[in-house]
Structure 1
Amino acid sequence: MDPRTLLSTDHECQVKHIAGGCYYHFGVTDALMTELNSACDLNELIDTLTLHVNIDGLPLSRSSAVHLWPILGRIKELGNSNVFLIGLYSGTSKPSSVHEYLKEFVDELKVVIQEGLHFNGKHYKIAAPEAFICDAPERAFLKCVMGHSGYNGCECCIQTGVYVSGRMTYPDLTAELRTDSQFEEMVDEDHHTGVSPLKDLGVGLVTSFVLDYMHLVCLGAVRKLLYLWIKGPMKCRVSASVLSLVSQQMASLRLNIPKTFSRKPRSLFEVAMWKATEFRLFLLYTGPIVLRKNVPHNLYKHFMLLSVARRILLSPDLCLEFCEYANQLLQVFVENSAKIYGPEFIVYNVHGLIHLAQDARKCGPLDQISIRKLK
């Protein structure tokens, strides 16, 4: 028999037509109950559950314009917590209204936070989400603020961007940091495009929206460095012979890469096809080896500033003790980036590196608050 018959799976569901598409709300309460029921290491001392939430868009296929926009959640206190589905939107573009899109989610979560949850005779408090883990366009959409290419697009500090060589840059490394209270009062009017529906949850719309290091570092700063070495201006470019030598050494490491890494090293000349995990592997493991004594010393030292800082902020053992040191390394990295690669290098992704340490101080190692963890 078909498993849908055995499990009495519904063949239809009552979707709502909102924000230019269709939406179905699975529910926060049902998801939490299911997750608690399947938890095998539920600590009796846990009395408060904290959510990490991810919202992102993904295409169904290359041949279709239909996109899905799921609202995903995960329980922070359960180390083996699964990622669960809270709501699902389908449409040919992103939701036309963030208020319509998030209404059921916000309304239910307000009740859950106020009343808590009863499970197996125990009452659990539900805290407001500690972290919304999204990439830059989705964060701007949910918070109703300027995008990362706008003059007032930095979500963590108050500064006006500078347009350099066709790119929006954020050169000020000492700008005043944004606070939750300033955001709520809309002190920087040019930063806001509206009022976020998440304001009703009482979450910090600055501190609760963490910068995702997968996009900021792996698919951002590291990829930009490699592109400049391969195809950048002559002052930044590394010779083809050196790149070939580095690529050969990376290929020689393939047999020694454990299966815990999802991908083996590939040639630098294939960098356009690299995935985020490959940039991560290069930054933390293979890069420090194959670049040493091959690329110019100043480029290697600059690369290692980023590598060591990321190592600290990703390590549960090092993160809290050496968080400030990692922050200093990132400040030097960004400052020297302008000197080595020019002011046009300090775009949103590179500037955002100086704010990553504050997320680690609040939420712990960056791997715990990365989109990688919620996919």
Structure 2
Amino acid sequence: MEQCPLSSKDDIVKELALLYARKKLSLTGLGEVAKLIKRLGHDIPTYPTTILKTTNTPIRSRNFHHFSLKKSLLGKLKKGMINKESTIIKIQVNIDGTQIFKTNSIDLWPILGRVINSLDALPFVISVFVGKGKPPNLEEYLRPFLEELMALQSEGLECMGITYSIEMSSFVCDAPARAFLKVITAHTGYFGCERCNQKGVYDTVYHCTTFPEVTDVSLRTNTSFRAQLNKQHHKGFSPLLELKIDMISCFPLDYMHLVLLGVFKRLLTIWTG
């Protein structure tokens, strides 16, 4: 059987990954399409994790637990915390990691939710991972949350005879967590800016990457992000691409890294010499 050249093989794998993102294929569906193409004579990988360039390290069940987004929302509705005059529930999600103890490297990575149009602004836990470092498998970490959210968005949430529609407002994360979730270059990289396509400049004085151009630059868009037009910005394909969200505007930039650890830190250095 004639094998396709390496360049053609890479092109097919890239197109498969883009197809997964654009058409919101399941991992099983992606694998089946890859197997079909391989049967037609093209020597390409058939494992979805290989095609998407994501890790296949499993998350042990004892290190991960999904609590349920639906139950938390129903609890707020039954307590009257969500205005019944509106049938839209707007959800904000926070994902970040924190070290539990100073004496070891065990981290806690919760997925937290908050209803922004609720009388009760307290967050609730959707899922949680506990282990050394960040979750080793992003797909497995996000999958229960994504499947539940997409089902709620498709079918709605019924409570006391009223059907509510679910809207994803934003993902509130710090810069390292956003890079992890979106599978992109870190904010310290040359193509790490999440708002424009310019290549950064390394500042040898402050030892950081800066993006000095503020006028003559092309901005990132949801379309360009999903098509991965700026290849140096992407490190793979995020499971979040399955959601009907804007991959740029739905990820607000965080105050801590931009101001407290950025501008203000530099100002303090200048002021204090």
Q: Aligned partners of 2:192, 2:156: CA distance in 1, in Å?
A: 36
CA drift of 1:222 comes to 1.9
Q: Aligned partners of 1:158, 1:216: CA distance in 2, in Å?
A: 18
Match of 1:170 among 178, 198, 211: 211
CA drift of 1:18 comes to 3.7
The one-letter code of the counterpart of 1:167 is C
Partner of 1:191: 233
Partner of 1:8: none
The one-letter code of the counterpart of 2:71 is D
Residue 221 in structure 1 maps to residue 263 in structure 2: yes
CA RMSD, aligned part only? 1.7
CA drift of 1:168 comes to 1.4
Task: Using the aligned pairs only, state the percent identity.
Answer: 38
Where 2:267 maps in the other structure, the secondary structure is helix
Partner of 1:348: none
Q: Is the 8 A contact 1:25 1:104 kept in 2?
A: yes
Residue 29 in structure 1 maps to residue 74 in structure 2: no
Partner of 1:131: 170
Q: Aligned partners of 1:78, 1:119: CA distance in 2, in Å?
A: 15
Q: Which is greater in Rg?
A: 1
The one-letter code of the counterpart of 2:227 is E
The one-letter code of the counterpart of 2:67 is F
Alignment of 1:1-375 (within 5 A): 18-19=58-59, 22-40=63-81, 42-127=82-167, 129-165=168-204, 166-174=207-215, 175-230=217-272, 237=273
More divergent stretch after superposition (103-112 vs 211-220): 211-220
Q: Aligned partners of 1:218, 1:164: CA distance in 2, in Å?
A: 18
Q: Aligned partners of 2:139, 2:200: CA distance in 1, in Å?
A: 28
The one-letter code of the counterpart of 2:187 is H
The one-letter code of the counterpart of 1:120 is M
Asked which structure has the greater RCO (Cα within 8 Å, sep 6+), the reply is: 2
Q: Aligned partners of 1:212, 1:39: CA distance in 2, in Å?
A: 31
Q: Aligned partners of 1:62, 1:211: CA distance in 2, in Å?
A: 28
Taking structure 1 as reference, are residues 82 and 101 closer, same or farther at Cα in structure 2, changes over 3 Å only?
same
Q: Is the 8 A contact 2:83 2:119 kept in 1?
A: no
CA drift of 1:204 comes to 1.1
Q: Aligned partners of 2:236, 2:155: CA distance in 1, in Å?
A: 29
The one-letter code of the counterpart of 1:118 is E
Where 1:91 maps in the other structure, the secondary structure is strand
The one-letter code of the counterpart of 1:155 is E
Q: Aligned partners of 2:254, 2:69: CA distance in 1, in Å?
A: 23
The one-letter code of the counterpart of 1:135 is D
- Provide Cα deviations, 1:259-308, integer angstroms capped at 9, x if missing partner: xxxxxxxxxxxxxxxxxxxxxxxxxxxxxxxxxxxxxxxxxxxxxxxxxx
Where 1:125 maps in the other structure, the secondary structure is strand
Q: Aligned partners of 1:82, 1:164: CA distance in 2, in Å?
A: 41
Q: Is the 8 A contact 1:27 1:87 kept in 2?
A: yes
Q: Is the 8 A contact 1:39 1:81 kept in 2?
A: no
Where 1:158 maps in the other structure, the secondary structure is coil
The one-letter code of the counterpart of 1:173 is V
Q: Aligned partners of 1:169, 1:215: CA distance in 2, in Å?
A: 13
Partner of 2:41: none
Partner of 2:33: none
Taking structure 1 as reference, are residues 150 and 27 closer, same or farther at Cα in structure 2, changes over 3 Å only?
same
The one-letter code of the counterpart of 1:105 is F
CA drift of 1:164 comes to 2.4
- In structure 2, the gaps of 5 or more residues are 1-56
Normalising by structure 1, we get a TM-score of: 0.54
CA drift of 1:79 comes to 4.1
Q: Is the 8 A contact 1:35 1:81 kept in 2?
A: no
